[in-house]
């Protein structure tokens, strides 16, 4: 998992409430057994005018020119600004995968669905909660100023605006530690690799029959 310490990036505004996970990554793309390749289908039904299916070449699709991520001023955005209850709906982990693989490193919103919120942290995506009035102010500024960028300092837990004004946000210490060190659940487990190997060696010495398999 990619480490997150500090990030400065272009902001894209998703000016809709209750954006659910089926909108973030539609159900037909959940057929894949791989954990990669979901970025091109992020917000697929809003992003394209034609129906998408797994394996299609994005270059052959018909992009929706009115959708925010297709507008030239938001190309390369890495911070998504959203409204309340972002990520509601089903618990699919593919949603943060798609956001991350598109290029987003953080989301800013007044609230999130709980499972989506937790899944973001497990996949290196930082979901920041700010009060609605601060989010509304950011929306106004993003719309008013092309090229609007924010800096997110995880160590200090602040969002820094272009003129230097800061909005503080909360994050649990354990989640902060995992993001700053690029540790997902597997990475956390592998930090104990020596202890795991020692345990397995002791167990095999005490119970050598565990190494045998039953004949069919």
The CATH number that applies at residue 93 is: 3.20.19.10
Cβ count near 88 (within 10 Å):
19
Which one is predicted more confidently, 87 or 190?
87
* pLDDT-wise least confident of 121-135, 145-159, 161-175, 198-212: 198-212
Arithmetic mean of pLDDT, 116-124: 95
Arithmetic mean of pLDDT, 90-96: 92
Domain assignment present for residue 50? The answer is: yes
Q: Tell me if 105 sits within 8 A of 126, measured CB to CB.
A: yes
Q: Name the DSSP class of 20.
A: B
Domain assignment present for residue 192? The answer is: no
Q: How many domains does the chain have?
A: 1
Q: Name the DSSP class of 133.
A: H
Domain assignment present for residue 204? The answer is: no
* pLDDT at residue 72, rounded to an integer: 97
Arithmetic mean of pLDDT, 140-149: 98
Rounded to an integer, what distance in angstroms lies between the CA atom of residue 117 and that of residue 156? 20
pTM (predicted TM-score): 0.88
């Amino acid at each position: 998992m990619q480490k997150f310490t500090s990030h400065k990036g272009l902001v894209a505004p998703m000016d809709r409430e209750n954006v659910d996970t089926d909108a973030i990554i539609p159900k037909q793309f959940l057929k894949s057994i791989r954990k990669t390749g979901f970025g091109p289908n992020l917000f697929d039904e809003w992003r394209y005018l034609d129906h998408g299916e797994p394996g299609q070449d994005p270059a052959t699709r018909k992009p929706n020119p009115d959708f925010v991520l297709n507008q030239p001023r938001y190309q390369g955005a890495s911070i998504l600004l959203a409204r309340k209850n972002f990520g509601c709906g089903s618990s699919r982990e593919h949603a943060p995968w798609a956001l991350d693989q598109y290029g987003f490193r953080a989301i800013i919103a007044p609230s999130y669905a709980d499972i989506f919120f937790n899944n973001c942290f497990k996949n290196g995506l930082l979901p920041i909660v700010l009060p609605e009035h601060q989010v509304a102010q950011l929306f106004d500024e993003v719309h008013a100023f092309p090229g609007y960028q924010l800096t997110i300092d995880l160590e200090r837990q602040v969002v820094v605006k272009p003129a230097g004004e800061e909005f503080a946000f909360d994050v649990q210490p354990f989640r902060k530690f995992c993001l700053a060190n690029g540790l997902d659940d597997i990475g956390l487990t592998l930090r104990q690799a020596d202890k795991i190997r020692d345990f397995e060696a002791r167990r095999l010495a005490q119970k050598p029959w565990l190494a045998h398999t039953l004949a069919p």
